[in-house]
Structure 1
């Protein structure tokens, strides 16, 4: 009997050994990093017999003994990695790794990690001390950040690491500087922050070279697109160059390409920016030293300075500060306490028009202003522009054309249809070059010291000061030129000093010059004397600028 039990025991032992796995598979959890709302780590997999694939590995995350979610790892270049998003802040989680082989599911590894509270509030921000820290913002787009040191990119190529994802956090630049950037790589939203839906404040950006030769729609050195808040940001001593063709609208701003409804920009400036934009085909650019286009936005206490050169081939909106300030249905944009000092050169040659049934669908329109190219259904309070504007070429060479292509150029605004209160403009407009016919096949031309074309009368308490307009070598059918407003509207606006010259002949006030029959109609504008000028404005913002001009 004892022999029988011994035989049975030996048989059972042999069977157990035979059933046990002889696999050499091992898995370890390494490089575990817990962020505020995510956890990521790598798996070190030892699999000499190549028994595993990613779908045979399952990673499960638990909180307080309850499963939260599970997934298989990603495999790239032989490396296994796992990321769990959507976790709670300040929670300790358990991670288990399971693998299926030999017909069974085996628990291979376990680890714990606690999500951080760092970056969850303004008093406990994530600290940015290195360039790598800055690039890692992409790993947590909703956190609070604070820049602790100047960051020098040493002219290395910079690519927006956020891609098409938006920054929804809070970034406090802490008065520090990010400098020496090169932006040459094409991304969905070109800019330091790409698409901003959060808050960016207290930051200086210096010596950036942006040079793009590939098509993109949203381009700005800070952000290509802004739906958040930009506050107390300075961009200085930088250059912005684009050369490409893209059918439709593009938004090019020195700081922000497109500022969308409900966004804000305040206490912000652009200093000494050289901006050059070249487009071709059916590309319609919105171009400004601060913002390309702002829609239903609030913008206050802003300024810009630099040079702006635009070579385009279609409808264009060009402003020393903002290309176009627009409404969004019933919501207006509002611009307050704004100024720009700029040299603008424009060359437009239309070669292709959109044609339906042998008719041009829309005329070509070019709007140029020292402050704004266009103001559409938005309100402007207390603004100044010192602009020297040169229209170097304006032609339409398309086979089939509209009969009402338009150019509107103003020292302050090119074209406006809404409120402008207490605006001041100095500088000059030059249309043409000696010995060259500059304008061909553009029918409606408006040049003015304040606003090229204003409809209806919504301007008040505004002045062009010592503003010079010079038309050279141009023989248009009709040209409308004014010290104040180009078209014939009644306005609470005036001028002080300045000159109007057409082909070396001087005029005053507002004139409509018909070259076809050499007739001139002169309209009266209000000319101020020195005493009236000094007491004309009420706002402290404009009066401070005027006092400085008069002293100099």
Structure 2
């Protein structure tokens, strides 16, 4: 741990006078007859822990002007210096301020070549990185921090470092245990009885969690140790020094080898941002901005207190310098490929520019599947550089998706945690998204985020990341593209925030494959409508899950809206599941469905369906171990099925054989509201099920004020008022588990090998392992 990288250290090394709380006082009145330039002194003060037995520091100020050295102030305390006014003749001066403790010089601060030329000036002295002249030997330190219990400090560490902030190998990081200090205060204490004499920097780190990942602040203290003495103090912190993060969007630039950009700061720090020399292609660098369209003022650095929150800086890049270009066009003929690599696992094709990404799309759309090849992003890609694409505009460059219809991408695409920004589609597009179609058991799209806007007409498969995915894998992807789609005529089409249509496969009872959408997130609103007399399927993660398509550890924050002239299925995770599943997922978006016929609206899925064929026997849909909130609204001209977890669960057969499996829904919780309109209205805290399948749905829990006129489904179903309330049985059923919502969710999850639930910041349970957490 190199603390020097964590903060910029400017310390005034003042001694025990500071322990008395020295601070600037009013200026001293001066004689009207004084002549020359009026000079006010200022000394940067900081707390310092001193060993017992040391006297107050005194200061002597010496000035050199025109070759002559003069003692301007002698033997003054810190408080005296703060009130001291000098009158000096104009010209160039050099100053030296010496600090003494017990007649021994302990520090010197200099100000060379100061131009004293205005009617008044201020001299500011700081002391940095000095060493006290102590006798050789060891001493001790006992430093206590106190802070409000409302700070919620759960864990703390401390380390004694060199005075310049660098790590001292002789001192290990110590884990401290917060203890009671009073009714309103906590404390942590650092102690060590065997410290070599000298000056050190003691740094405390404070955390809100026991595993020390959620740092809320730190405190720095200079500790001066003398032989045979103990340095001790109690420091009361009124406001914790919160650490904020810095995020850089490089827009195609690359850091120079060995350079590490500042990644955090606190409100007491100023920060200098990286410059052109810190990039390998720095001649293209045009400055840092806080807006992605560079409409604000360029930021070069900031002073302490200018920023008091996490901040993102966008690098402006000149369009055509040193190989970095944001100009691009979709090829009209097979392009000359300029990316590097060989397409292998260890040496993948590397795409770093928007033109290279467009060339890649052309190759796939013209029959190159890249089956067995590996493609990787080497930088963020901006498809409409300098613009924030949030609506429709003729000035934006339109994207042509990668793959579609009979031309699918079948390789391995790794976004390497980069973002494709400015994705814009405003057209009739059957397969719409960054990718149009991804297919094959070895095909993967992973680790990529997309941002932008899509207005699609006649869309069959519409998703922010992928329009349609079949027997392939989609993982670690996030959608921040706002989607507005008018769907084409068809019965199996879908619109989703991440993927429109996800499909597994089967040929008989022993030959089938799953399709996985894993660890994905949607942050943007998804709006879809269908004017023809076909079913509309719309979801936050996936519009339509078909034939063993599985959503695992996914989260939706966007509001989902579906409007149809016929049946409409909409859910926070999936609109429609036909032998599909959702497990360990979360939905925080509102779901609103409007249908001229029948509608199905659910917090996780609109409709879950088990359709029986001979080779389907023993397979089923399932919604297990999920949580949902928000407002779920089903508005239908005829029948409205609206549920906190799913709208409707059903079973259908095509033969006379007995059915062995149904649609499962277990260990789900809902704490939003449900509402519906129609000639027949079915409102449920969890969901509505046909009589045959209800017995396969149990251990689900919902808030008792969810708005449901008849809550729950068959089996052991519980109600609760708050997350901390005890679960109570619904109707005459018996609960499988007892306790609070968090306790009963974890009891079922543990017994059935599902994800673990934790207490969220708002008190409601959240799943562990969800990466895309707001």
TM-score (structure 2 length as normaliser):
0.44
C-alpha separation between the residues in 2 aligned to 1:390 and 1:381?
Answer: 17
Contact kept, 8 Å, 1:257 with 1:291, in 2: the verdict is yes
C-alpha separation between the residues in 1 aligned to 2:630 and 2:742?
Answer: 22
* Structure 1 residue 492: Cα displacement: 2.3
C-alpha separation between the residues in 1 aligned to 2:374 and 2:349?
Answer: 6
C-alpha separation between the residues in 2 aligned to 1:196 and 1:254?
Answer: 16
* Structure 1 residue 167: Cα displacement: 0.5
The 3-state SS of whatever aligns with 2:648 is: strand
Contact kept, 8 Å, 1:447 with 1:482, in 2: the verdict is yes
1:457 alignment counterpart: 694
C-alpha separation between the residues in 1 aligned to 2:523 and 2:688?
Answer: 26
Query: Superposed, which structure 2 residues align to 1:469-480 within 5 Å?
Result: 469-470=706-707
Contact kept, 8 Å, 2:625 with 2:749, in 1: the verdict is no
Contact kept, 8 Å, 2:484 with 2:527, in 1: the verdict is yes
1:183 alignment counterpart: 425
Deviations 1:336-364 (A, max 9, x none): 322221211222224xxxxxxxxxxxxxx
2:374 alignment counterpart: 144
Deviations 1:284-340 (A, max 9, x none): 11110111111122332222221012221111111110011212xxxxx34332222
1:409 alignment counterpart: 642
Q: Measured at CA, do residues 326 and 546 of structure 1 come closer, stay the same or move farther in structure 2, by a change above 3 Å?
A: farther
The 3-state SS of whatever aligns with 1:539 is: helix
Contact kept, 8 Å, 2:590 with 2:631, in 1: the verdict is yes
Asked whether 1:419 is paired with 2:629, we answer no
The 3-state SS of whatever aligns with 2:694 is: coil
C-alpha separation between the residues in 2 aligned to 1:453 and 1:548?
Answer: 33
The 3-state SS of whatever aligns with 2:434 is: coil
Contact kept, 8 Å, 2:569 with 2:599, in 1: the verdict is yes
C-alpha separation between the residues in 2 aligned to 1:190 and 1:308?
Answer: 18
Contact kept, 8 Å, 1:424 with 1:462, in 2: the verdict is no
C-alpha separation between the residues in 1 aligned to 2:760 and 2:463?
Answer: 34
2:350 alignment counterpart: 127
C-alpha separation between the residues in 1 aligned to 2:356 and 2:333?
Answer: 21
Q: Measured at CA, do residues 144 and 229 of structure 1 come closer, stay the same or move farther in structure 2, by a change above 3 Å?
A: same
* Structure 1 residue 191: Cα displacement: 1.7
More strand by share: 1
Query: Superposed, which structure 2 residues align to 1:347-386 within 5 Å?
Result: 347-350=594-597, 365-377=598-610, 378-380=620-622, 382-386=624-628
1:208 alignment counterpart: 452
RMSD over equivalenced CA pairs, Å:
3.3
1:497 alignment counterpart: 721
Asked whether 1:342 is paired with 2:594, we answer no
The 3-state SS of whatever aligns with 1:456 is: helix
> 5+ unaligned residues in a row in structure 2: which ranges?
1-331, 390-396, 505-512, 611-619, 650-661, 723-727, 766-774
Q: Measured at CA, do residues 167 and 391 of structure 1 come closer, stay the same or move farther in structure 2, by a change above 3 Å?
A: same
Contact kept, 8 Å, 2:572 with 2:604, in 1: the verdict is yes
1:544 alignment counterpart: 757
C-alpha separation between the residues in 2 aligned to 1:371 and 1:82?
Answer: 44
Contact kept, 8 Å, 1:226 with 1:263, in 2: the verdict is no
Deviations 1:48-89 (A, max 9, x none): xxxxxxxxxxxxxxxxxxxxxxxxxxxxxxxx9999xxxxxx
Contact kept, 8 Å, 1:202 with 1:232, in 2: the verdict is yes
C-alpha separation between the residues in 1 aligned to 2:559 and 2:741?
Answer: 33
Query: Number of paired residues?
Result: 370
Asked whether 1:299 is paired with 2:299, we answer no
C-alpha separation between the residues in 1 aligned to 2:485 and 2:642?
Answer: 23
Contact kept, 8 Å, 2:537 with 2:568, in 1: the verdict is yes
Query: Superposed, which structure 2 residues align to 1:384-403 within 5 Å?
Result: 384-391=626-633, 393-396=635-638
1:288 alignment counterpart: 539
Asked whether 1:221 is paired with 2:467, we answer no
Contact kept, 8 Å, 1:191 with 1:223, in 2: the verdict is yes
Contact kept, 8 Å, 1:189 with 1:225, in 2: the verdict is yes
The 3-state SS of whatever aligns with 1:482 is: coil
The 3-state SS of whatever aligns with 2:525 is: strand
Deviations 1:369-389 (A, max 9, x none): 100112223343643232333
Q: Measured at CA, do residues 393 and 369 of structure 1 come closer, stay the same or move farther in structure 2, by a change above 3 Å?
A: closer
1:157 alignment counterpart: 398
Greater relative contact order: 1 or 2 (C-alpha under 8 angstroms, separation 6 or more)?
1
1:271 alignment counterpart: 522
2:569 alignment counterpart: 317
C-alpha separation between the residues in 2 aligned to 1:82 and 1:427?
Answer: 52
Deviations 1:509-548 (A, max 9, x none): 97xxxxxxxxxxxx54568975587345332666515666
2:678 alignment counterpart: 439
* Structure 1 residue 181: Cα displacement: 0.9
1:240 alignment counterpart: 483
TM-score (structure 1 length as normaliser):
0.60
C-alpha separation between the residues in 1 aligned to 2:480 and 2:333?
Answer: 42
C-alpha separation between the residues in 2 aligned to 1:126 and 1:453?
Answer: 49
Asked whether 1:174 is paired with 2:452, we answer no
> 5+ unaligned residues in a row in structure 1: which ranges?
1-79, 84-115, 328-332, 351-364, 397-405, 432-437, 472-480, 499-507, 511-522
